[in-house]
Amino acid sequence: MSEKIQKVLARAGLGSRRKMEELLAANKVSVDGKMAKLGDRVEPKQVLRVDGRIIDIKAQEDVICRVLMYHKPEGELCTRFDKEGRPTVFDRLPRINGARWIAVGRLDINTAGLLLFTTDGELANRMMHPSHEIEREYAVRVFGEIEDEMLTRLTDGVELDDGPASFSKIKKSGGEGINEWFNVTLSEGRNREVRRLWESQGMQVSRLIRVRYGKLDLPKALPKGGWTELELPELNALRAEVGLGPETQSKAKVDKRPAKNQNRRIRRSVRKHQMKQTGERKKARRR
């Protein structure tokens, strides 16, 4: 059965439907060698290309939705490849056949914490879209003297370069003097928004960690660089949050071993990856 091209491309993880419509308008999409236009449809047997690259066409029922929770360390880039050879968030993820991991939003290189990955482009797009108002919560350490009037302005709203912005919640969470910790919540994913909001008040963010995305909390036992996959009940709760139907199967490996053993296994995997990266950097320097 045929589907609208922008829907197929969004499901493949190339971006939101609106972005795909822009690609169509820019004459960057073709079907069986012919330039496609907005409103065209595509069938699984046809050859779909974007900028000359063939895109695998899969029907919605053929996509097995998987979601990973990843504990991003500082220093990793949210990109698939880096020309300078710097580490990326995709380096440590498990390899999969017939699908690819799609990042749900981004964290900048100096931000740590919870980053979600999925194989379902539609789920990723809905979770990032402002209309669903998915909350993001951050733990932030702020350098400077904080006044109550500042906190009021940050919840009432301030004007940034790309429009008005605000925190829906601000809660003090520790520290004293000029190094205080706060937990802040907002429902947008604009570039460096948390940092820019504090900077609008003359404050400097010295540490930033995402601790929650929607109803998913960063697991306390998950080490930096480690990942864990959602099982079916958690996955379907996430899908329901953005108006998607439930999945009936999962590829998550249900580990029956005690949680302590699972955490030890994850830490071993993280150390192994770090040793491999160190070895590769040494080889590069010798060249």
Within 10 angstroms of residue 230's Cβ, the number of other Cβ atoms is 20
> In whole angstroms, what is the distance from residue 122 CA to residue 69 CA?
17
Q: Count CA within 13 A, CB hemisphere, residue 94.
A: 18
As a whole number of Å, the end-to-end CA separation of the chain is 53
Residue 217 falls in the annotated catalytic set: no
Beta bridge pairs of residue 117 = 68, 103
Q: CA 181, 183, 189, 190 torsion: positive or negative? A: negative
Q: 283: how many CB neighbours lie within 10 A of its CB?
A: 9
Phi (first) and psi of residue 137, to 5 degrees: -115, 135
d(CA 143, CA 204): 5
Catalytic residue among 32, 56, 82, 108: 108
Rg, Å, the chain Cα set: 21
Tokens 């580990």 locate to: 255
List active site positions: 108
